[in-house]
Chain A
Amino acid sequence: AQSVSQHNHHVILSEAASLELGCNYSYGGTVNLFWYVQYPGQHLQLLLKYFSGDPLVKGIKGFEAEFIKSKFSFNLRKPSVQWSDTAEYFCAVIPSNDYKLSFGAGTTVTVRA
């Protein structure tokens, strides 16, 4: 079974700082990769996803992620965060022949105004 590791449990930043959240997965085959976000009191929403092609994926709200196959990583980045980016961020993986999403433990991001 695949597993997903998120390196940071809680990240605290000031507005305009750059953000990078680490995500590594363990699975030997082809995977689909996702980042979901959960704003306070809201349900999970998709930020971006990767299936194939350009390993640098751009998502909503200025977020991007880079798939590095050799490192089994799919790190999330944003050059300049805003207070409204305060949320919990989840990396998730699905094997290409399955529908079972495996989530990482999540990273809570707090952006100070």
Chain B
Amino acid sequence: DAGVIQSPRHEVTEMGQEVTLRCKPISGHDYLFWYRQTMMRGLELLIYFNNNVPIDDSGMPEDRFSAKMPNASFSTLKIQPSEPRDSAVYFCASTQGGSPYNEQFFGPGTRLTVL
């Protein structure tokens, strides 16, 4: 298996623009997670899905952020409009349900820079 796939790997955009980050989880995994990593706040969980349904979005910073999972093999995280403080590395992870003990497998991340 190719692991969790994220695209793009790097994104540079200007303030006010819309940004869409993409994630393909590992086949057969029914949980998908979006994390954000910054120097100031470390690794934070933004939202997670189970069987394509958002379960907990309490970590989403504000209404500018939205996430969707239209099917089991694809999810997006959208920021509209983007701001410089959104600059971070965004990770997607997936796991097979049944137990929270199961390892979450992380993608390589998308490094977002908002100018």
Contact = CB atoms under 8 A, between A and B. Distances in A.
A25 interface: no
Given A99-B55, A101-B45, A103-B43, A43 B107 contact: yes
Interface residues of B, number: 22
Interface residues of A, number: 24
Contact of A106 (B43, B55, B100, B104): B43
B26 to A, nearest CB: 13
A100 B56 contact: yes
A51 B98 CA distance: 14
A24 to B, nearest CB: 15
Interface in A18-70: 32, 34, 36, 42-46, 49, 51
A12 B44 CA distance: 26
Nearest to A31: B100
Chain A binding surface SS class: loop
B31 A99 contact: yes
Interface in A63-103: 90, 94-103
Interface of A: 32, 34, 36, 42-46, 49, 51, 90, 94-106
A103 to B, nearest CB: 4
